[in-house]
Amino acid sequence: MNDEVQTSEAAAKLLADRSVGELAEKMGIKLIELSAERAVATMPVAGNTQPFGVLHGGAHVVLGESLGSMAANVWAYPDRVAVGIEVSASHSRSATSGVVTGTCTAINLGKSLTVHEIVVTDEQGRRLSTVRITNYLREKPTR
């Protein structure tokens, strides 16, 4: 995780208990900002491409779902946990190099559901894809 992450107080508490996740770490996702309302992260294209050398569509989804899930879990913390129940993505442009940025914005922060939209852009600020995730907020399981 990036040591210079801008977080809300709730996000800081959540991140003290958890990492960004093993998949996100393997893909090189670096968290820059995190709150329930907004989350931002970067991801390198290198290492996350499909056989034709462009950023894999699934990588867009992993970036988007990671940001949306983290933001939803900030909203749910500490008594509840957010679990994804729907994710969709529309890809509008490809990237073959550099770093992409995902910017997650809350559409709805409710009592039982959250909806976030994540816009993935290239280094020139061009929209590559739009990811939308809905999370269900459930009671935290007891161990």
Residue 10: CB partners within 8 Å, gap ≥ 6?
35, 36, 74, 75, 77
Q: What are phi and psi of 100, to 5 degrees?
A: -105, 155
Q: Is 22 designated active site?
A: no
Q: In one letter, which amino acid is 53? A: G
Query: Residue 92: CA atoms inside 13 Å, Cβ hemisphere, count?
Result: 11
- The single residue listed with the structure tokens 């996702």 is 29
Number of H helices, E strands in the chain: 3, 7
Torsion of CA 109, 26, 141, 89, to 10 degrees: 40
Determine which one of 4, 33, 65, 123 is catalytic: 65
Query: Which residues are catalytic, by number?
Result: 65
